[in-house]
Amino acid sequence: MSTAPKIWTRETGLVEKRDVWTAMKRGFRSRCPRCGEGKLFRAFLKTADNCSVCGLDFTPHRADDLPAYLVIVIVGHIVVPTILWIETNYTTPVWLSFAAYLPFTFFASLGLLQPVKGAVVGLQWALRMHGFDENPPDGIPPV
């Protein structure tokens, strides 16, 4: 660790403003959280190495399992009340229930997984998490 004291000036406090909601909306649309133009993904869940328009490096993101957990919560909050409402108010055969609920749950989860991951990457960029900060603290090795 560096023992030299940091001297704060007006210039050290001037950093790029990053709006959290704008970055998350851009990420949700699978676009670069900085410029909103370049593609965020090169495959279904693989982020591109960098933005083709502004050059933002996407490699430091650490979305890990958070998008999957969020998708489970979102889809669960839609599917479970719907199932409970249908099953308490109507009498449906079991085969019809499985034929309707399982595919809906599967496709809703698949449909939300990439947008939610993009929003998580946008959130990390906006909050300068992990390697998205221009000036990382001294003494912390890169991940």
**36-55 pLDDT tens trace:** 999 999 999 999 999 999 88
Residue 128 is predicted with a pLDDT of 87
Query: Would you state the structure tokens that stand for residue 101, as one six-digit string?
Result: 């609920």
Task: State yes or no: pLDDT of 27 exceeds 50.
Answer: yes
Q: What is the mean pLDDT of the chain?
A: 86
Q: How far apart are the first and last CA of the chain?
A: 17
C-alpha span between 7 and 132 (Å, rounded)? 23
83, 106, 110 from 98: Cα distances, Å:
11, 12, 18
Count of other CB atoms within 10 angstroms of residue 28: 20
Q: How far apart are CA 3 and CA 50, in angstroms?
A: 34
Confidence band for 92, pLDDT divided at 50, 70 and 90: confident
Backbone angles phi, psi at 90, to 5 degrees: -135, 155
Q: Which two tokens stand for residue 76?
A: 């669960």
